[in-house]
Structure 1
Amino acid sequence: MARQASTTGILTDTTDSTDAQGGVAYPIDRTARVYIAGHRGLVGSALWRHLRSQGFTDLVGRTSSELDLRDREATFEFFAIEQPDVVILAAAKVGGIGANSTRPVDFLSDNLRIQVNVLDAALAHRVDRLLFLGSSCIYPKFAPQPITEDALLTGPLESTNDAYAIAKIAGILHVQAVRRQYGLPWISAMPTNLYGPGDNFSPTGSHVLPALIARYERARGQGERSVVNWGTGSALREFLHVDDMADACLFLLEHFDGPTQVNVGTGKDLSIRELAEMVASTVGFTGETRWDETKPDGTPRKVLDISTLTKLGWRSRVGLAEGLAATVEWYRTAGAGVRGQG
């Protein structure tokens, strides 16, 4: 039975719905039209570079000023015009502990609207292949480590970013629901902490690694004797270079078809204190590092179990020391063009 899009953009035929438990993935034609939502962001720009390098010839992207994905009518109009074959949903409102804890409504509302509009529009236009990108913050604060995919919804979230996490969890369930009701081979991937060229280095809105790079580089350049970081430095985190993430995204689209979100990371973690020491050394800062223990650490430890992905045959390639050095070099070269520095 042919499926028709209603005036609200939702497919009206729900007959013959199935619970898609997984199928056989297959390579994507390099001439397929691929829409990267959020193509100017950290992940989106890396995806654009990687797909180009892999021979894709028809990539589509819009800046937030060109297309506000929170606007449902504009989002559906875009899909009607562009008719993408593949969608990678990398667009999101993101930020570090400070931004998430002080503006939870923004992170919940904006991300829910972006996700619902893009996923509904993709469904209305019968997009066959879709990858939804979430975040490792979807998992409970005290989940057993390393965190397996089945830890989802088994405990309370970290309070400093629970609103963002709930939005991302809703996206995962949305993708699973589409699989069950319409049988489309849509999938979700949950990256660990990402870093690399194109990151946001804002003093108030960035994640920990770019924040440290900006802080230590500024201190070095201005001859400051000390740097103050949030928390105790004891929290353990895992970091993945964004070029590895882009490679993993294409790999999953071509090798995985299942309802469960797939963790993407290195499987290795280190303390924020150790990370700060690495950043200081990399940028050449020789002063003192102090810790403001009145500020939150966030989740005590967060490292992903990546066995699902490694069993499929994928592994990260960029080591932290190598990736950090390259990111610092990019940060210095990009100058005023760096996000968060303008």
Structure 2
Amino acid sequence: MADHLSQTIFVAGHRGMVGSAIVRHLKSLGYSNIMTAARDELNLLDQAAVQHYFQTHQIDQVYLAAAKVGGIHANNTYPAEFIYENLVVEANVIHSAHQAGVQKLLFLGSSCIYPRMAPQPMKEEVLLTGALEPTNEPYAIAKIAGIKLCESYNRQYGRDYRSVMPTNLYGPGDNYHPENSHVIPALIRRFHEAKLKGDAEVWVWGSGTPRREFLYVDDMAAASVHVMTLLPGQWQEVVTPMCSHINVGSGSDQSIREIAELIAQAVGYTGDLVFDTSKPDGAPRKLMDSTKLSAMGWQPQVALGAGLKHAYEAFLGAGHG
């Protein structure tokens, strides 16, 4: 076990919400040789720089958590950046890892890879069976390409590159930008500011009827490490060469209205919620089927209510109070 814990692990995107959670979890398990590189040290969009980094460091495993992410508004406003930057980062890291002889890599994708009208809950096998949600199609296509990159290097070169598709994530390290963030951090900020100002009501994007599944980011980190520590035989029992990704979800979903009410409760906002039906809803429902992951012996630990309280505490601790 000591040899296992001493392996050199590179976490790409360690300053992001997921990457920082993976680093926290690895350290909690006793991993001591964790490599990270800030953007001013290593620009993942620079192919030559990424190749040089891998060639000059002895890396055993890679967690590819680096990505350009955002909510509906950001995806709608910056589609070119979302497809370009995500394609380039994953291509640079996966190819450079292969060239440097790295055998194990974990690619983190997103639930938005699935068709907009996919049967619920969404199984891994529905990938590429229908049209994507238009508001985040460029980002989704980039993430699908990442899965197929991993599959291609596995098939052609015998690599052990695995992919996990998380549902909507939230928690410490989230992005609280008023326009470019996802629904939970955006509402945490909105309710917090409304509470401070004594506002009688808070407007929420959309009708409130779409259903979404959420997972606390530390649960996602634990699932990622769990997947990476599975023996190849254990992993290959639940995936196929042409469907080599697995879903990571909480197993339940709530309406946006229910989520907003839970966030207001966690923040302590007691005013009214008003839903702006002129704003886009996105996909009507996004619940993932995570039975493959359950079969691998992993279950989430943080319930939504408790997770939202932790997230609000992290928001205040990050200086937003």
Does residue 313 of structure 2 align to residue 306 of structure 1?
A: no
- List aligned pairs for 1:272-311, cutoff 5 A: 272-311=256-295
Stretches of structure 1 that go unaligned for 5 or more consecutive residues are 1-25
- List aligned pairs for 1:215-234, cutoff 5 A: 215-234=190-209
Deviates more, 1:250-259 or 1:278-287: 250-259
Which of residues 132, 136, 150 in structure 1 aligns to 2:107?
Answer: 132
Distance of 1:84 and 1:227 partners within structure 2: 48
Q: Which amino acid aligns with 2:254?
A: L
Change in Cα spacing, 1:27 to 1:191, as seen in structure 2 (3 Å) is farther
Kept after mapping to 2: 8 A contact 1:128/1:185: yes
Distance of 1:83 and 1:99 partners within structure 2: 37
Kept after mapping to 2: 8 A contact 1:282/1:324: yes
Distance of 1:263 and 1:291 partners within structure 2: 30
Distance of 1:295 and 1:63 partners within structure 2: 36
Q: Aligned Cα RMSD in Å?
A: 1.4
Does residue 120 of structure 2 align to residue 145 of structure 1?
A: yes
Distance of 1:213 and 1:64 partners within structure 2: 28
Does residue 319 of structure 2 align to residue 335 of structure 1?
A: yes
Kept after mapping to 2: 8 A contact 1:237/1:272: yes
Change in Cα spacing, 1:28 to 1:315, as seen in structure 2 (3 Å) is farther
Aligned match of 2:219: 244
Does residue 265 of structure 2 align to residue 265 of structure 1?
A: no
Change in Cα spacing, 1:28 to 1:248, as seen in structure 2 (3 Å) is farther
- List aligned pairs for 1:43-192, cutoff 5 A: 43-192=18-167
Aligned pairs, number: 312
| Counterpart secondary structure, 2:107 | strand
Kept after mapping to 2: 8 A contact 1:96/1:206: yes
Distance of 2:154 and 2:210 partners within structure 1: 36
Alpha-carbon distance, 1:120 to partner: 0.8
Distance of 1:224 and 1:73 partners within structure 2: 52
Q: 4+ runs of 1 displaced by more than 4 Å?
A: none
Kept after mapping to 2: 8 A contact 1:39/1:48: yes
Alpha-carbon distance, 1:28 to partner: 7.7
Alpha-carbon distance, 1:289 to partner: 1.0
Distance of 2:41 and 2:67 partners within structure 1: 15
Aligned match of 1:17: none
Change in Cα spacing, 1:286 to 1:161, as seen in structure 2 (3 Å) is same
Alpha-carbon distance, 1:192 to partner: 0.2
Distance of 2:196 and 2:29 partners within structure 1: 38
Larger helix proportion, structure 1 or 2?
Answer: 2
Query: TM (normalized to structure 1)?
Result: 0.89
Distance of 2:289 and 2:300 partners within structure 1: 13
Kept after mapping to 2: 8 A contact 1:89/1:133: yes
Distance of 2:188 and 2:13 partners within structure 1: 23
Aligned match of 1:207: 182
Distance of 2:250 and 2:271 partners within structure 1: 30
Q: Which amino acid aligns with 2:136?
A: N
Q: Which amino acid aligns with 1:221?
A: L
Alpha-carbon distance, 1:267 to partner: 1.1
| Counterpart secondary structure, 1:262 | strand
| Counterpart secondary structure, 2:160 | coil
Alpha-carbon distance, 1:311 to partner: 0.8
Q: Which amino acid aligns with 2:297?
A: G
Distance of 1:286 and 1:55 partners within structure 2: 43
Alpha-carbon distance, 1:333 to partner: 1.8
Change in Cα spacing, 1:28 to 1:112, as seen in structure 2 (3 Å) is farther
Alpha-carbon distance, 1:286 to partner: 1.0
Kept after mapping to 2: 8 A contact 1:27/1:254: no
Alpha-carbon distance, 1:42 to partner: 0.4
Kept after mapping to 2: 8 A contact 1:28/1:254: no
